[in-house]
Amino acid sequence: MSAPTVTRPEGGPSGSPASPPSRLDGVRSYATVIGMLVVVVLIAVARPLFVDPRNLAAVAVDATVLVVLAVGLSVLMAMKGLDLSIAATADLAGYLAARALLDGHGTATAVLIGLAVGLAVGVANGVLAGYLGVPAIVATLGLNLVLTAVGLVVSDNGTPQQLFTAPIDLVKPMLVFGSDSWGPFRLLLLAAVVVVAVVWFATTRTTWGRRIELVDAGARAAELAGTPVRATFASGFVLCGLLAGAGGLMLTARTGLAVPGSAQPFLLDAFTAVYLGATASPRGRVSVVWTVLGAVFVTLLANGLVLLGLGAPWRYGLNGALILLALALGVLRRRATR
Amino acid sequence: MAEGIAAAVRGAVVRFGTTTVLHGVDLELRAGEVHALVGQNGAGKSTLVKALMGVNPLAEGHVEVAGSRVDLAGPEDARALGLEIVYQDQPLAPRMTVAENMFLGREPARTGVLDRAGMHRRARQVLERVGALCGPDDVVGDLTPTQRVQVSIAAALAAEPRVLVLDEPTAALGAAESASVFELIRAARAEGVAVLYISHRLHEITSLADRVTVLRDGRRTSVAPAAGLSTQDIIAAMVGRDLEALFPDVPHTPGDPLLEVRHLRSGELVRDMDLSLRSGEIVGLAGLVGSGASETLLALFGDRRSTGDVRLGGRELAASNPRAAVRRGVALVPEERRTEALFPGLSVGVNLTASSLGAHARGGVLSRRRERRTAEDLVERLGIVPRSPAQDVATLSGGNQQKVVVGRWLARGGQLYLVDEPTAGVDVAAKAEIYRHLGELAAGGAAVLVVSSDFEELIGLCDRILVVRDGVVVEEIGRGEVDEEELTARAAGADAADGDTTADPAAPAAEPAPRRAARLRQIGVGVAMLAVVAALVAGSPGFLLSSGFWDVLRQAGTPVLLAAALTVALGAGAFDLSVGAVAQLTATLSAALVVAGVPTPLVLAAGIVTGVVVGAVNGGVTVLLRVPSFVATLGMLFLLVGITLGVNGGLAVPAETYSFLLLGQGFVGPVPAIVITAGVVIAVVALVWRLTPTGLRLRATGDDERTSRLRGVRTGWATVTALVLSGALSGLAGVLLASYAGGATARDASLELLVTALAAAFLGSALTRTFLFDPATAAVGSLFVTATGAGLIANGLSDEWLGGVQGVVLLAAVLVAVARRRALGQVVIF
């Protein structure tokens, strides 16, 4: 991964920070980044294999699905939205796409089906939370259960769809996307980079991105300033859903397998990535680039835990603790500035 | 120490950050005396009162009560010493009853149980004494503004206070209603109460007060007996500067008619507004709070639903939302600058271009160059200090912030400017500049409609003033025709009170319509639930009739407890996402303990204690770190899932000890033990919730945190208490789950358990009169969700759908609860 560049989501006309960060702000940001580095170094010392280039390359590919999911979530969370249904969406999208492939409908149709699932979920969430006023957390939690149930039903209680045992002409493009490279770069990695670049540009350089900032800074003020607040809020869910669908497709392509429930761990990871990224960012705000950093760290940590022989309980436990830690650090900043 | 001084503030200095708001103010309140406190907006009246009430800490100086110096750590200390206050905006918990609001913070209780009969009786007495037209059991949210004032004063008087502070109590009232308030104040004075009375209506003061203290710019400019004072004297002490210099003369000439408004109606406050504006004209709307003047601006801007004929430039302006109004060239400078106009945390430049993004972008991509040019131009033209457009707007002074808000519309260019309280919280120098900018807008051909509670401002600024009373324009006044006092009198309708012909004023509400609608909704939801269950029974009678009945109840044991747990948290304003995870953890733990041979009572205790500990951590993190409870408990949810996995190693844990299984599978006669346990626990929780002071405080905190805090409820403790209780109930639910299922499953069901509880909690709230969360109705909701699930499976639905059904029920239940308000579904994330 390239070194994270510090971006200012709203840049201000002169491109300089809106306000000089207080000293504590800097301490918190550095402390978080340094803390991440320390963790990485410690794992590397304990298990040198961890920093082996081949392992790191594998981690980078591993991280792609999480990056795409977390980036979608970060756009939504940048305006106080929230989506607990991304993992279930990714599962369903990946599963239905895989089945379409195996049924011989072709790659294009399969991809469209995957994205359509994401779009439909995003629209449903957007209407519920943006227009009907259901708190985002409740709306997406409800939809999460509905999607999980649908996933179980369409898969006949979780029967996997295996791409790698299927006739190669049916599934080749998908598997190529999941495992092949363009020059030195894995295609999955390139896809993730493209997604990040597009979303970064959209959130920092367009009127849509600016409206998201306005809705975040004050929904009421944005309404009275003539901003289409509901539409903007809903659009975040749509993007989040679409990217969840895309993430599901990438996961299926990478593993060559679609099993309902396999994307579930990404929900927690995505949250941790967004929170850690926001805590580490100099301005303490949710932003696309810092979310990517958070996602890479979370993936590194999971990989390190596996190398250390520590299983799923540690992963859950550490992620939960990291969210609480990020909060505690975030609060230091808030107290310092208010 | 002089005789009869009930309370005093001596040498009070109050600072907010680096700004000093009060510079050493003295105030003495004598028993049996009405003391008036007057001053302009921003003179420091509210700050002084809050210092007296222990809300604002004093940087220097102190408060005395009954001659001895006291330290007030918060409003509860002030109340304990007999100081009562009725705030201007009458903070009352809107979804609770009149009686509950009146006694919040000092609930009468006998052996830990609320004395409800006593509360009811006492409330009725005081309400009668106040002459209020409402009963102790009415819900505050359904009351009219007048009734709210009466309830607030009644609540203060019910405490039999030593000092009664009234912060503009009549601001929302007409002359007739105000008269009854004056009677109350005189009666209180006769009983020896020291009354501190704050008002903008000077004629009230000269007729009511015994002594008058005048504040200006945070200093006391005079204190004198009211008897010798004329309103002119008071105004001189309040204003103390040359008005001419404040209102720069910007020549502007009215042109063609621009805005024509006929029969505008909106809500209860805007009843029938007629007005017209020419381009190049500044017109003021003079009305007291509640007159409908501010609401008229919002209605014209499309922010309030309205009917009537509104034409802008000859074409109909049917603005259904602010966006539509902005497109037609209408601009609004809202009343609440901080929350309604500014984007704190964003730069001045972003704030300036917020309404004209389209003009600063090509194809949706922002042009930094254009934005910078606009921002620099406006900063220069408006004289915004500091001069950098990159500055965070929140760091600017009030006056400069207001210039930014005006500048935002200059960047867009409009033809009609609706300006609400243009100079609230703005220092004198910036005021003059803002007046000049408004004048220049008119000179440039725009029409400006100004609402202000500062009538001096209207007189100095406007070409014409329209007096608004009870949502109607009653009179038009030209420039220079009246002075501030006269305008105040006309806005209050003091002279015209007997000639008042407007529609029936505050008709004594018989059975308020909202109450009937609530009943219908309660019954409707109940009937709908019964209908669903009946349909399922018709399809497959066995699942609920005969033996199936107890099965469903047994199955409901755990969900009912979890629903109650979540309800307690939600009802106290905390979102506990960890209930399912706690249950999952204690189920696993207790199964493991049983396997290890631990006796059943200890297992039970361990489960509950685990829940309590988790709840205490949740509460501690939420309150101490001041993070939203939902994030704290989300982190906890994940943490617990990890710990559970660590305990069971990803495998199911069977628990087969007979005594343990009795908890969840035993019977007492025909009744399953788990049903008895759950029933008793729910009954206890529901009684605590409804009938104890603690329950009342938890409910009040959940309903309106700020009001509760002002009434002396320690809301932080309320949050911790609720989360601990929620944890304990979840822990118990988990133990019962393990016993009922003969062990703990490997599969993590935290989210399913949570969603079921959420659905039950919201269904339950839809069954209550005011959408309050209540453990008993949540239990009913939970029974329904369980029965529906069992019924659907009995009717041939596959298990896989069960979670989906719960999700759908949750969404349906929440939609019923939120349909009326339709706020944005935002969640506080940090």
Q: What pLDDT, in 10s, does the model give residues B221-262?
A: 888 888 877 777 777 777 665 555 667 778 888 889 999 999
Asked if A94 contacts A248 with a C-beta cutoff of 8 angstroms, the reply is: yes
The shortest C-alpha distance from A72 to chain B (Å) reads: 16
Asked if B251 contacts B233 with a C-beta cutoff of 8 angstroms, the reply is: no
Tell me the sheet residues that pair with B7.
B29, B65
Take residue B759 and report the two structure tokens written for it: 């659905």
Which of B239, B274, B309 is where one domain is finished? B239
Q: Is the pLDDT of residue B539 over 80?
A: yes
Smallest CA-to-CA distance from B25 within B41, B40, B37 is with B37
The shortest C-alpha distance from A269 to chain B (Å) reads: 10
Q: Is the pLDDT of residue B723 over 90?
A: yes
Residue B792 DSSP SS3: helix
CA-to-CA distance for A281 and A74, rounded, in angstroms? 13
Q: Are residues B562 and B470 in the same domain?
A: no
Tell me the sheet residues that pair with B283.
B449, B464
- CB within 8 Å of chain A, chain B residues 756-775: 758-759, 762
B635 — contact with chain A (CB < 8 Å)? yes
- Residue A39 covered by a domain: no
Sign, CA dihedral B78-B83-B86-B91, equals positive
* Cα angle: B381, vertex B386, B391; to 5 degrees: 105
pLDDT band at A338 (very low <50, low <70, confident <90, very high): very low
For B817, the closest chain A residue by CA position comes to A134
Smallest CA-to-CA distance from B817 within A145, A210, A142, A175 is with A142
Written as one string, the DSSP assignment of A70-127 is HHHHHHHHTTT---TTHHHHHHHHHHHHHHHHHTT--HHHHHHHHHHHHHHHHHHHHI
B643 contact residues in A (CB cutoff 8 A): 313, 317
Q: Are residues B469 and B524 in the same domain?
A: no
CA-to-CA distance for B739 and A305, rounded, in angstroms? 34
* Cα angle: B500, vertex B502, B507; to 5 degrees: 105
Written as one string, the DSSP assignment of B35-78 is EEEE--TTSSHHHHHHHHTTSSPPSEEEEEETTEEE---SHHHH
Sign, CA dihedral A136-A139-A142-A145, equals negative
CA-to-CA distance for B512 and B704, rounded, in angstroms? 22
A12 contact residues in B (CB cutoff 8 A): 347, 349-350, 389-390
Question: Is the peptide bond between B508 and the residue preceding it cis, with omega within 30 degrees of 0?
Answer: no
A324 vs B808: CB contact, 8 Å cut-off? no
Asked if B500 contacts B476 with a C-beta cutoff of 8 angstroms, the reply is: no
B372 vs A14: CB contact, 8 Å cut-off? yes
- Residue B507 covered by a domain: no
The shortest C-alpha distance from B65 to chain A (Å) reads: 33
DSSP class of residue A206 equals B
Q: Are residues B374 and B334 in the same domain?
A: yes
What is the C-alpha radius of gyration for chain B, rounded to an integer number of angstroms?
31
Tell me the sheet residues that pair with B272.
B472
Q: Which residues contact residue B717 at a Cβ distance below 8 angstroms, ignoring those fewer than 6 apart?
A: none
B627 — contact with chain A (CB < 8 Å)? yes
- pLDDT tens column, A111-169: 999 999 999 999 999 999 999 988 898 899 899 989 999 999 999 888 888 888 888 88
Write the burial class of residue B478 (CB in 10 Å: 0-12 exposed, 13-18 middle, 19+ buried).
Answer: exposed
- Residue A20 covered by a domain: no
Q: Are residues B361 and B215 in the same domain?
A: no
Asked if B549 contacts B666 with a C-beta cutoff of 8 angstroms, the reply is: no
- Give this prediction's pTM: 0.83
The number of residues making up chain A comes to 338
For B814, the closest chain A residue by CA position comes to A134
- Residue A131 covered by a domain: yes
- Residue B249 covered by a domain: no
A233 vs B634: CB contact, 8 Å cut-off? no
Sign, CA dihedral B135-B140-B145-B148, equals positive
Beta strands B163-167; B83-86: pairing state: parallel
Q: Are residues B362 and B412 in the same domain?
A: yes
Percent with pLDDT over 70 in chain A: 88
A315 contact residues in B (CB cutoff 8 A): 642
- Residue A7 covered by a domain: no
Asked if B79 contacts B712 with a C-beta cutoff of 8 angstroms, the reply is: yes
Residue A132 DSSP SS3: coil
A268 contact residues in B (CB cutoff 8 A): 638
> A174 — phi, psi (to 5°)?
-65, -45
- pLDDT tens column, B518-527: 888 889 889 9
- Residue B120 covered by a domain: yes
CA-to-CA distance for B580 and B761, rounded, in angstroms? 14
Q: Are residues B370 and B447 in the same domain?
A: yes
Q: Is the pLDDT of residue A11 over 80?
A: no
Of A12, A16, A207, the CB nearest to B361: A207
CA-to-CA distance for B522 and B500, rounded, in angstroms? 40
Q: Which residues contact residue B336 at a Cβ distance below 8 angstroms, ignoring those fewer than 6 apart?
A: none
* AA letter at B591: A
Q: CATH no. for residue B105?
A: 3.40.50.300
Domain residues for the domain of A264 are: 51-274+284-337
CA-to-CA distance for B791 and B542, rounded, in angstroms? 9
> B503 — phi, psi (to 5°)?
-40, 155
- pLDDT tens column, A90-100: 999 999 999 99
Q: What is the 3-state secondary structure (H, E, C) of B148-192?
A: HHHHHHHHHHHCCCCEEEEECCCCCCCHHHHHHHHHHHHHHHHCC
For B634, the closest chain A residue by CA position comes to A320
CB atoms within 10 A of CB A254: 20
Residues A121-153, buried b or exposed e (16+ Cβ, 10 A)? bbbbbbbbbbebbbbbbbbbbbbbbbbbbbbbe
Q: Are residues B536 and B580 in the same domain?
A: yes
Q: Are residues B476 and B550 in the same domain?
A: no
Of A13-22, B35-44, B102-111, B712-721, which one has max mean pLDDT?
Answer: B712-721
B804 contact residues in A (CB cutoff 8 A): 145-146, 148-150, 153
The mean pLDDT of B65-87, rounded to a whole number, is 86
Q: Are residues B291 and B222 in the same domain?
A: no
Q: How far is residue A258 from each of residues A90, A312, B64, measured CA to CA in Å?
A: 10, 20, 74
CB atoms within 10 A of CB B358: 10
The shortest C-alpha distance from A143 to chain B (Å) reads: 6
- Residue B24 covered by a domain: no
A157 — contact with chain B (CB < 8 Å)? yes
Pick B817 or A141 by higher pLDDT. Answer: A141
Q: Which of A264-273, B150-159, B177-186 shows the lowest mean pLDDT across its residues? A: B177-186
Domain residues for the domain of B183 are: 29-57+70-239
B639 vs A311: CB contact, 8 Å cut-off? no
CA-to-CA distance for B369 and B367, rounded, in angstroms? 5
Asked if B5 contacts B67 with a C-beta cutoff of 8 angstroms, the reply is: yes
Number of alpha carbons in the 13 Å side-chain half-sphere of residue B667: 6
Take residue B82 and report the two structure tokens written for it: 């007999």
Percent with pLDDT over 70 in chain B: 92
pLDDT at A9: 32
DSSP class of residue B329 equals T
Q: How far is residue A330 from each of residues A282, A320, A322, measured CA to CA in Å?
A: 11, 15, 12
CA-to-CA distance for B371 and B624, rounded, in angstroms? 42
- Residue B129 covered by a domain: yes
The mean pLDDT of B75-85, rounded to a whole number, is 86
Please count the structural domains in chain B.
Answer: 3
Q: CATH no. for residue A200?
A: 1.10.3470
Smallest CA-to-CA distance from B351 within A97, A214, A321 is with A214
Which of B440, B463, B492 is where one domain is finished? B492
A214 — contact with chain B (CB < 8 Å)? yes
Beta strands B109-110; B163-167: pairing state: unpaired
- pLDDT tens column, B761-780: 988 988 888 888 999 999 99
CA-to-CA distance for B292 and B145, rounded, in angstroms? 12
B754 contact residues in A (CB cutoff 8 A): 141
Q: Is the pLDDT of residue A217 over 80?
A: yes
What is the C-alpha radius of gyration for chain A, rounded to an integer number of angstroms?
20
pLDDT band at A14 (very low <50, low <70, confident <90, very high): very low
DSSP class of residue B271 equals E
Q: Are residues B526 and B486 in the same domain?
A: no
Q: Are residues B704 and B563 in the same domain?
A: yes
H or E element: which one contains B410?
helix B398-412
pLDDT band at B806 (very low <50, low <70, confident <90, very high): confident
Inter-axis angle of helices A136-154 and B750-766, nearest 10: 130
Q: Are residues B400 and B455 in the same domain?
A: yes
- Residue B7 covered by a domain: no
Q: How far is residue B293 from each of residues B174, B216, B269, B466, measured CA to CA in Å?
A: 14, 27, 8, 10
B358 — contact with chain A (CB < 8 Å)? yes
> B416 — phi, psi (to 5°)?
-130, 120
Smallest CA-to-CA distance from B714 within B76, B109, B108 is with B76
Assembly ipTM? 0.86
A316 vs B357: CB contact, 8 Å cut-off? no
pLDDT at A221: 95
The mean pLDDT of B424-444, rounded to a whole number, is 84
Number of alpha carbons in the 13 Å side-chain half-sphere of residue B104: 34
The shortest C-alpha distance from A167 to chain B (Å) reads: 30
pLDDT at A330: 66
pLDDT band at B57 (very low <50, low <70, confident <90, very high): confident
Q: Residue B364: left if φ>0, alpha if ψ -120 to 50, beta else—which one?
A: left
Average pLDDT, chain B: 86
Please count the structural domains in chain A.
Answer: 1
Inter-axis angle of helices A53-77 and A86-102, nearest 10: 120
pLDDT band at B150 (very low <50, low <70, confident <90, very high): confident
Q: CATH no. for residue B705?
A: 1.10.3470
